[in-house]
């Protein structure tokens, strides 16, 4: 059986060494299992994604020595596929339009006796629009912006309580989602979760190799796959590359970019070997520590 895996970055910035680490994990897995590696650009969020970052991702991955099977799939060119999934969930009566603003959700949560102390209370939706009448829904949809929310109780009732997912063949995780998640945002029509499960199925992805930061999303993906009748891929979540203080490398922490390393003259071959090295989980350079980086990963082989 031919296996397929994918690397699926979002073009909201330049790739950093943490992304490179993940891309190399996908490539190494694909080589080992004679699988096809696909590249997918997850660019449905037009408020944050930019085409120049998508171009840079392709360029930087090539420089790093990652290769993939053509064509590259750009999510923004396949919106009708996600629309179809929304339609299916709607026909099944599993999603409802939600007109709430962040402020309304916050106020409602604070009003509840057991107000949670979560940082972002709007992540926990208290169900304000869950039971609106069909005529109220239709009336308001004509002139108010709305998001689509998945009715979690109904969804879990359909798929059964024992829904779970495995990391490789190892630990079995129980899917545990406790509020009505957003499937289509007000400002962009589809959520990342919806697009990703539709694409993984359409691209015939058998194995998903991605960072442990995605583990929380995997439960949502399993639920959507079950509801939409999509196949279940095998998930393998790898540990994240961290800096010396143990903090994960991330765009928002100003992680070193591949573009920056390329421009400094770093040898891609050495960088690749370093990141692919057994157990390399630490990026041992302080931000801007160019001399040290060049000493270790500089031009001369």
* 212/150 Cα distance (integer angstroms): 24
- Tell me which residues in 6-35 interact with ligand GLU (CB under 6 A): 8-10
When asked if residue 5 is in the footprint of ligand GLU (CB under 6 A), the reply is no
**Alpha helix positions (H), the chain:** 17-32, 51-64, 79-91, 102-111, 134-143, 152-159, 192-202, 215-228, 258-264, 268-276, 290-297
Alpha helices in 92-237 (DSSP H): 102-111, 134-143, 152-159, 192-202, 215-228
85 vs 196 by CB, closer to ligand GLU = 196
42 binds ligand GLU (CB under 6 A): yes
Give the residue, chosen from 210, 222, 226, 272, that forms a contact with ligand GLU under the rule CB under 6 A.
Answer: 210
CB of 6 to ligand GLU, least distance (A): 8
Residue 12 or residue 106: which is nearer to ligand GLU going by CB? 12
Residue 225 is a binding residue for ligand GLU (CB under 6 A): no
Closer residue to ligand GLU in complex, CB, 6/149: 6
Min separation Cβ 56 and ligand GLU, Å: 14
- Those residues with Cβ within 8 angstroms of residue 252's Cβ, 6 or more apart along the chain or in another chain: none
Q: Please check whether residue 127 is in contact with residue 134, taking contact to mean a CB–CB distance below 8 angstroms.
A: no
Residue with tokens 């993940």: 22
By CB under 6 A, residue 250 contacts ligand GLU: no
Give CA–CA dist 78/105, Å, rounded: 32
Q: Give me the sheet containing 69-74, strands edge to edge.
A: 4-7, 36-41, 69-74
DSSP letter for each residue of 102-140: HHHHHHHHHHSTT----SSGGGS---TTTT--HHHHHHH
Question: Considering the complex, what minimum distance in angstroms separates the CB of residue 158 from ligand GLU?
Answer: 24
Which lies closer to ligand GLU via its Cβ, residue 196 or residue 227? 196
Strands 95-98 and 172-174: unpaired
Q: How far is the CB of 246 from ligand GLU (least distance, A)?
A: 20
Which position among 20, 30, 196, 275 is part of the footprint of ligand GLU (CB under 6 A)? Answer: 196
- Taking the least distance from each CB to ligand GLU, the nearer of 207 and 210 is 210
Residue 214 lies near ligand GLU (rule: CB under 6 A): yes
**Total chain residues near ligand GLU (CB under 6 A):** 7
Subset of residues 140 to 169 that bind ligand GLU, contact rule: CB under 6 A: none
- Contacts to ligand GLU by CB under 6 A: 8-10, 42, 196, 210, 214
């Amino acid at each position: 059986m031919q296996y397929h895996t994918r690397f699926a970055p979002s073009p909201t910035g330049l790739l950093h060494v943490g992304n490179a680490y993940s891309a190399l994990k996908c490539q190494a897995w694909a080589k080992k299992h004679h699988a096809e590696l696909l590249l997918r650009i997850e660019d449905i969020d037009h408020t944050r994604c930019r085409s120049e970052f998508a171009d840079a991702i392709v360029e930087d991955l090539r420089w790093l020595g990652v290769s993939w099977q053509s064509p590259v799939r750009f999510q923004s060119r396949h919106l009708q596929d996600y629309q179809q999934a929304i339609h299916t969930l709607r026909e099944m009566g599993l999603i409802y339009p939600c007109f709430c603003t962040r402020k309304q959700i916050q106020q409602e949560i604070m009003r509840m006796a057991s107000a949670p102390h979560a940082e972002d209370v709007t992540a926990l939706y208290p169900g304000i629009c869950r039971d609106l009448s069909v005529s109220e829904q239709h009336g308001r949809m004509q002139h108010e912006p709305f998001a689509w929310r998945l009715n979690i109780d109904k969804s879990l009732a359909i798929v059964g309580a024992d829904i779970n997912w495995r990391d490789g063949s190892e630990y079995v995780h129980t899917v545990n989602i406790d509020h009505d998640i957003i499937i289509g945002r007000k400002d962009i029509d589809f959520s990342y979760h919806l697009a990703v499960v539709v694409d993984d199925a359409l691209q015939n992805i058998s194995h998903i190799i991605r960072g442990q930061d995605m583990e929380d999303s995997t439960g949502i993906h399993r639920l959507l796959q079950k509801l939409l009748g999509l196949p279940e891929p095998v998930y393998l979540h790898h540990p994240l590359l961290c800096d010396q203080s143990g903090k994960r490398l991330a765009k928002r922490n100003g992680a070193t970019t591949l573009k920056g390393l390329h421009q400094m003259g770093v040898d891609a071959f050495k960088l690749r070997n370093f990141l692919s090295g057994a157990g390399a989980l630490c990026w041992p350079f302080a931000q801007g520590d160019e001399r040290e980086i060049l000493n270790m990963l500089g031009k001369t082989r």
